[in-house]
Every structure is written in structure tokens, then in C-alpha cells.
Amino acid sequence: METVQALVIGAGVVGLAVARALARHGLEPLVLEQETTLGQGISSRNSEVIHAGLYYPTGSLKARCCVRGRQLLYDFCEARHVPHRRCGKLLVATAPAQRAALEGLAAQARLNGVDDLQWLSGPEAQALEPALQADAALLSPSTGIVDSHALMLALQADLEAGGGQVLPCSRVLGWHSTRQGLHALQVRSADGEVSELGCRVLVNAAGLWATALAEASTGLPPGLTTAFCKGSYFSLQGRAPFTRLIYPMPEEGGLGVHLTLDLGGQARFGPDVQWLPEGMTPEFLDYAVEPSRMQGFEADIRRYWPGLPEGALQPAYSGVRPKLHRPGTPAPDFQIDGPARHGRAGLVHLLGIESPGLTSCLVLAEEVLKCLALDPAPPSHHRT
């Protein structure tokens, strides 16, 4: 069995950030990715938003990772010339009945350390975005957008500079821990050959596959449930009359059908919330966008943009989020299971990493290092 110092399963944005952190500690990680290229799962099927940290319970891992991760991500993008923009967003109450909930989110954000929100009346919000329908709004200047593919390439460049490597077309079939303290993985390559790789440090950042891999290797904590939630996106034909992101009030399972912009100014809407059947597994996911969902999108969008032209939407893409809960139950926090939880040295599982996972990727990498008893600050000769 060939052995290496560290292995990371999954070359999405979080797996790459973790591998970069390990490389900066001199561990020369290999990143095993079952697809042909980076980030083909959750990382390439989202809104590409850098979140400010408004929504998450105070003291939660999501809140802490998002608020700190936002600034780390902006700094990283500046240093690595990753395309991004602090375009800001408006979180909108479209009726007086939503004002109390909006005030609650403002208070939650302040407790989380988000100190730059501005309360706007309806006319003040419309002065910024004349096409907007709003009774009141919160302006979040620190919300932004990023080219997620360019971000992943930059993370890959850093981990490779530290001696790491991404191995595409490498599917992990399973693993076990040996008496010698190694984690032994069975890995199938593109040609179907199965080989065994051993490592001292193993990080499961497999996204949609992470929970199944964790369950197969170390079991899951009592009471942990998993579900998949599909979110579709529709794009706008023509230019949108907005310069900022527009978000309605959040709903169960998501942040509402919001308007986001790409770096070229093209608008898209979504995601909506579509809980998939219990027992669904990643290999059977269908990413097709159902045109029949368009009517619901139009109704949601017209609550904050009454001037949406008829027939202006077209199906774009969809994504699937790994949920650690079912509809009607409270949304849990990110879950990072390290040796303190499951008792196996050098092994960390990242479970339920959905939004704000992209914003939080660099801080999630720090949390993994803490689980492995490594200082999140890299040795001085690796600081860049």
C-alpha cells in the first residue's frame, strides 16, 4: 500500500481550502476527486455570493465562520486577483407584516458582529434601486459576489505550490483504519483499476457524498438525519434594472428566491426549495430544471420586482444542498466531526456543508486544523 502524509476527499471549494491549509503546514496533501475537474458538485451550483453573516444563530459555527470568512475571502481574492465585487445587497420586507421579521434579522446580524447594516425605509430603498418594491429594507454593503471557479483554481495553485496535488477521476470506495494508525482507502481510477492508499491525516470534504462516507467508516452520531434539497435557478433574458443583489425574507430550507448578479451583470434568480424524496442518493440526482417551476418563480420575484417582464425567465441550472435535518425541524449547524467525537486519530468529517460554505471555506479549513491539533496559523515561511 502506497502511503502519503495527508488525503482530502473532494475538490470542491472547501476541500481545496482544507488541502491548502494542510499544504501550508508542509503535509503535501493529495486531493481525491471523483469527477474530471474541480468543484462539479455544490461548489459550481450555487449563487456565488460572499455572505455577510446575517441569518445564522449567534455563536453558531455558521455565524462565526461566515463573519470571519467573509473578510478572509475578500483578502484572499484581492491577493490572488480572483474576480469578485462588493456589490452589496438589499434584504427586503415587501409588506408591513414583514417588518418585525426584518428587525429581528437586523438584531441577529448585530449580535453576530455584522456592524455595517443600514436600515432603509421603502422610499430610501427605492432611491437606490428604482425598480424595487419595498416597505423597508436592510442594506448590507459587505455582501458580494465571486467567480467560484477562479477561486478554486487559486486555492489549487496554492496547495500545489505547497507540494500538494489534485487527483481527478479518483473515487473513494471505502476505507478502514489499520493497527498502525493509518487510514487505508480503496480508490478507483478512471480506467477502473482499484488501488489502496494509506495516510495519517484524512479529511472527508466530499460534499453530497460526505455523510455516506462518514457513516460507512465511523458511524454517525445518534439522531443525525440527512436529506437533499434541490434548488433551481432561472436566468433573466436581457439586463436587470438592479446594481445590487435583492433578497426577500428567508423561508424554511433557504433564503428565498433572490436576485443575484454575475460579474458580467447578468441576473439570475433562485434557488427555490424542493425537498427530494427520503433515501435519495447522490448518484441518482437529476439536475434538470423543470420549466413548470417558472410560474412560482415569477410570483415570488414580482413581490419585490413588479416590473418583471412576461416571459423574461429561462431555465438556467440547479444545485442540491446536503441537509442534516428534515422539513419542519430546526436547521442545524455545520458539523465537523474530528477525533474528539469519533475517536480516530487524524480523521475529520465535514458534514452538512451548504451555504454559507463558500464564504466560510478558509475558516472551515482553520477549524479542521484545530481538530487535528495543528495551529491554524501556518509556519512563517508559508505565510503568503
Output the pLDDT for position 17.
Answer: 98
Q: pLDDT for 172-181, tens place per residue?
A: 998 888 878 8
Asked if pLDDT for residue 383 goes beyond 50, the answer is no
**In the chain, ranges of CATH 3.30.9.10 domains:** 227-323
Prediction pTM value: 0.95
Evaluate if residue 377 carries a pLDDT over 90.
Answer: no
State in words which class domain 227-323 has. alpha beta
What is the spatial distance between Cα 4 and Cα 28, in angstroms, rounded to a whole number?
8
Q: State the DSSP H helix or E strand holding residue 71, giving kind and residue range, or none if neither.
A: helix 61-80
DSSP tag of 255: S
Residues 142, 52: contact at Cβ < 8 Å? Answer: yes
Do 125 and 92 touch, CB atoms closer than 8 A? yes
State how far the Cα of 33 lies from the Cα of 38, in Å rounded to an integer: 8
Residue 92: in which H helix or E strand, if any?
Answer: strand 89-93
Count CB-CB contacts under 10 A for residue 327.
Answer: 11
Buried b (16+ CB within 10 A) or exposed e, 215-225: eebbebeeebe
- Express each pLDDT in 342-365 by its tens digit: 888 999 999 999 999 999 999 999
Looking at the domain that runs over 2-48+149-223+332-382, which CATH code has it been given? 3.50.50.60
- Provide the pLDDT for residue 101: 95
Per-residue model confidence (pLDDT) at position 301: 97
Where exactly does CATH 3.50.50.60 map onto the chain?
A: 2-48+149-223+332-382
154, 80 in Cβ contact below 8 A?
Answer: yes
For 8-41, how does the pLDDT look when each residue is reduced to its tens digit (9 = 90+)? 999 999 999 999 999 999 999 999 999 999 999 9
Q: What is the pLDDT of residues 281-335, one digit of tens each?
A: 999 999 999 999 999 999 999 999 999 999 999 999 999 999 998 888 888 899 9
Query: What three-state secondary structure class fits 115?
Result: coil
Helix (H, G, I), strand (E, B) or coil at 362: helix
87-117 per-position pLDDT tens digit: 999 999 999 999 999 999 999 999 999 999 9
